[in-house]
Structure 1
């Protein structure tokens, strides 16, 4: 009888089991995105410490304030000079236009802005009128003959003439004003002005009734 060998342990009959392969990762429809990069750290500049002396800093600030003040004063001075120039142009516009004719367009443009007009000069001190002579023409009609003088060096606007009749006590009993168009000859245009260093004969006709005059006064003026 064949003798059977003793039973071996269970592990002796089992071969070493081979390692099973790992399952492959499942593919999905989404693509994997790489992680977003982190922002680089911002470098904060470190201000250097102010190690300048206090009096140096004060001097620098005072110099800056003084420079600003000089700029403001320069601008203010320029504005003031411009304002004075405009005032002079508008105040003496007539004299400037007569003395410097090339300036007349500039003065006219300036007056268009500031609401003035360029006209002939009206310098009453440059004018003079002779005493003249008063005579009776006929009845109540009288004639006053005199002469008007422009003693200045500029063409002047024609003035108005005032004739005042007086009584025996030298009191005014009648006053009459003659405009340039009333006493100038027809061939003299008032708009052209009274030429410099010239003379203009004047003849004034008027009627006088119910008033008796012993004397008269005559003068020129600008209304």
Structure 2
């Protein structure tokens, strides 16, 4: 019985029957579906790229170009873009700690900060550590921007791109144990 079913003679002139679910237009290739399919494919690829960009937004938002793009998109979607922040782009230079010229038992810490990023970013917090010769910390403090910014920059929320600020911090002298210092930004 199976042999008869699978070994039925087929001639080259017999038409192959069309399944009931197939349309006549699909059988003849009519309808111009190639343009529609290509457009759908392009739309799906763009949707995939948009989804990947949205899922990776925390990593991409640190780049100024993408940060601006996310800002435009979030304007229309009603979302919040975190502020651009790249602490590695803040250069600390001309740092020194000396005896205060006007007060006894006080130090004066002076440092210059420059934002070398391509975009403005929130002011960093500035940490100063005074260390002993063996590297242990004798004294330290973390300064908020309102505590170290000069009067000219008070009230500014952002550290402009390629801008510099000169900071002067009067400090209580921790004594002779302090041999060196270190500034860091946070």
TM bucket normalised to smaller: 0.5 to 0.7
Distance in 2 separating the partners of 1:91 and 1:190: 29
Choose the corresponding residue for 2:74, options 98, 107, 119. Answer: 107
- The answer to whether the aligner puts 1:85 opposite 2:85 as a matched pair is no
CA distance in 1, matches of 2:132, 2:155: 33
Whole-angstrom distance in 1 between the partners of 2:93 and 2:78 = 36
Structure 1 segments unaligned to the other structure (5+ residues)? 1-50
Instruction: Describe the shift of the 1:140–1:108 C-alpha distance in structure 2 as closer, same or farther (beyond 3 A).
Output: farther
**Contact 1:97-1:118 within 8 A present in 2 as well:** no
2:95 to 107, 125, 132: 132
Distance across 1 between alignment mates of 2:122 and 2:86: 8
Question: CA–CA distance in 2 between the matches of 1:208 and 1:163?
Answer: 13
Conserved in 2, the CA contact under 8 Å of 1:127 and 1:152? Answer: yes
| 1:158-185 CA-partner distances (Å, limit 9, x unpaired) | 1111111111212222221111111101
Matched, 1:199 2:164: yes
- Secondary structure of 1:130's counterpart equals strand
Deviation of residue 195 (structure 1)?
A: 1.7
CA apart distance, 1:122: 0.9
Larger Rg: 1
- Name the residue aligned to 2:86: 123
Range 88-97 or range 133-142, more displaced: 88-97
- Write the distance in 1 (CA, Å) between the matches of 2:136 and 2:94: 18
Identify unmatched segments of 5+ residues in structure 2.
1-13, 28-32
Cα offsets for 1:81-102 (capped at 9, x unmatched)? 33123335565446348656xx
CA RMSD of aligned residues (A): 3.7
Q: 1:209 to 1:154 in 2, by over 3 A?
A: same
Quote the residue 1:188 is aligned against.
Answer: 153
Corresponding pairs, count: 157
TM-score for both structures, normalised by structure 1:
0.55
* Aligned partners of 1:89 and 1:107 also within 8 Å: no
Report 1 or 2 for greater relative contact order, CA contacts < 8 Å, sequence distance ≥ 6. 2
After superposition, where does 1:149-160 map in structure 2 within 5 Å? 149-160=114-125
Find the aligned partners of 2:140 and 2:176 in 1 and give their Cα distance: 12
The normalised TM-score by structure 2 is 0.64
Task: Determine helix, strand or coil for the equivalent of 1:106.
Answer: helix
Structure 1 residue 216: Cα displacement: 1.0
CA offset digits 1:12-37 (Å, max 9, x no partner): xxxxxxxxxxxxxxxxxxxxxxxxxx
